[in-house]
Every structure is written in C-alpha cells, then in structure tokens.
Structure 1
Amino acid sequence: MKFSILTFAIMAISLTSIAQKKSPIDGNWILVEKNGQKLNFQNHQFKTYNQGYFSVIILKNDGTFNSAYAGPFSIKGNVYTETYKYGSKPEWFGWTGEQEWKIKGDTLHMVGHNRIIDPEGKEHPKTEWSQFVEKWVRVK
C-alpha cells in the first residue's frame, strides 16, 4: 500500500510540473514605453510572469504606489489573456483582458485591450478599458 501511495504522489508531482510549463514571457519585466511615450523611472510598471501567474506593480507619476494586481494568465498563439484575481482594487477581481503580444529578443510588445470580459462572463466593448501599445524590457 505504501508503494502505491508513493507512486501516486510522484506521478501527481510530475503531472503538476508538466501542467505548469514555462511560457516564453516568464520572468521579470519593466515598462519602458507606452503609446509611443518613453517612460522615466518615476512612472514605471513592474510585471512578473511565472508558470501561469502574473503580478504587476503600478506607480504614480511621482514614483509613489498606485496599485498592484495578480492572477492567472495564458498564451494561445499571439493572444495573451490575464484575469485579475488579487489586488489593491477589489472591483477589478474576476475581470479578464486579452492583448496581442510578441517578443523580439529581450523586448515584449503588448497591444490591448482587444477583448474584455466581466466576472459574469459578459464581453464588453474594448473601449471601456484603455487601449494601449506597450514596450516592456526583460529585467536581468
């Protein structure tokens, strides 16, 4: 019986590792350009992707804390989808946004929001959330 439980535990851990496959964007990123405007060190966003979860810290223009969010993300082709599950503004919990993405070297390009879905599953016009073109650089 002990052998069966041990075998099951090893298989479960192995399957979990397979399910949490590393994505091409896993790592830490800093926002350096938004809508064609280069950003300085006082209005940055820092974003981390790790095995299907993202977290982001957003600063105000004066460098003080604005907000932070986290939740699951997925990538299918050139479509990146993230859902706000945790954060500093609970009214965003459960909202999902879709963006287009591509990577060139250590630069991540994001264009969004292409599709927005509320917590009840209703799609909203993409104009309800800000539209953007962003350039992120990998932090080493």
Structure 2
Amino acid sequence: MFRVLIFIFFISSLLSCKKENKGIDITGTWQLVSAVTIKEGVVTNNFNSANEKVIKIINNDHFAFFRHDFNKGKDSATATFVSGAGNYTLTGNKYEEYLEYCNYRDWEKNSFEFNLEIKGDTLIQTGFEEVEALGIAHEIVEKFIRLKKN
C-alpha cells in the first residue's frame, strides 16, 4: 500500500509540473512588409515594397537577412543589396541580435535589442539601433509576415 501511495504521489507530481515557457516561436522565413525609423520624433519610411524585397531567416539560434532590388542592380537609382547574419537570444519577447556579418562592415560586431510581438502570421519588431561609430541612433518598427513552405 505504501508503494502504491508513493507511486501515486510521484505520478501526480510529474503531471502537475508546468512545461518551461521558451517564449514565442520565431523560427522560419519572414518577409518584410513595412519598416520605419524614428529619430528625434521624425518618422521615416525606409522600405518600398514596389522596388525591393527583404527576407529574414531565423533558426533556433541564428538569423540572416537579405535585401535586394527588383531591377537586379541595373538601375543605379534603385540598386540595393544588403545582407547580414549572426546569432540571437530570445527570452520571452525580448530579442537580441548580435550582428556578426554584414556587407556594411561598420555594423558588424554590434548587438541590437528588440521587443517582438506575433499576431497571427505577423511579426512586429520594435527597438533601438545604435552604432556609435557611425552616428546612428534611432528607433525602428518593422513588420514581417511569415512565409509559408511551398
């Protein structure tokens, strides 16, 4: 009888344990749909979906982003290519990127902290980007949609 009680207590204890909250699920491929910067109260739209595309790929511990124009770099007025990658940490909705690689090399080796929110298939990333050596200090708000697998 004593063994049965210990067994019941053990099973009850296991069943009452809560699973650890690992935060929101951000893994996947995301496409940028809007992006603004805010500096000294001035809001600037810095993304034109008619001329360019941005994707962000996130796995369990690394991210990469790619931005390019639709004219394959042939129009000097709209030619764009930006890429970067690194690792990240996610605690709850607090997301910190460490940018290890970037074609704008002065951005490398910097960390950026953001708050993330997921609404359905939309990821909203807000935070502050600062690269002191470049005089960059502004808030960003970026919205992405999760791309579905083909």
TM-score by length of 2: 0.62
- Conserved? CA contact 2:23–2:91, under 8 Å: no
- 1:135 is the counterpart of 2:143: yes
- Conserved? CA contact 2:23–2:92, under 8 Å: no
Alignment counterpart, residue 101 of structure 2, candidates 86, 94, 112: 86
Distance 2:125 2:72 in 1: 23
The alignment's C-alpha RMSD in Å is 2.8
Paired-residue identity, %: 27
- Conserved? CA contact 1:42–1:63, under 8 Å: no
Q: Which residue of 2 aligns with 1:27?
A: 28
Deviation per residue, 1:32-84 (Å, 9 max, x gap):
01239684242221100011100000225866442100000111122110011
Distance 1:67 1:34 in 2: 15
Alignment counterpart, residue 107 of structure 1, candidates 113, 118, 122: 122
Distance 1:63 1:99 in 2: 31
Deviation per residue, 1:10-50 (Å, 9 max, x gap):
xxxxxxxxxxx896100000000123968424222110001
- 1:96 is the counterpart of 2:115: no
Q: Which amino acid aligns with 1:27?
A: G
Distance verdict in 2 for CA 1:52–1:22, change over 3 Å: farther
Q: CA deviation at 1:129?
A: 3.4
Bigger Rg, structure 1 or 2: 2
Distance 1:63 1:29 in 2: 21
- Conserved? CA contact 1:72–1:84, under 8 Å: yes
Task: Give the 3-state SS of the residue equivalent to 2:138 in structure 1.
Answer: coil
- Conserved? CA contact 1:41–1:63, under 8 Å: no
Q: Which amino acid aligns with 2:100?
A: K
Distance verdict in 2 for CA 1:46–1:63, change over 3 Å: farther
Deviation per residue, 1:94-120 (Å, 9 max, x gap):
10000111111111011121x65x7xx
Distance verdict in 2 for CA 1:92–1:106, change over 3 Å: same
- Conserved? CA contact 1:70–1:84, under 8 Å: yes
Task: Give the 3-state SS of the residue equivalent to 1:24 in structure 2.
Answer: coil
The count of corresponding residues between Structure 1 and Structure 2 is 111
Distance 2:54 2:106 in 1: 20
Alignment counterpart, residue 54 of structure 1, candidates 58, 63, 67: 63
- Conserved? CA contact 1:71–1:84, under 8 Å: yes
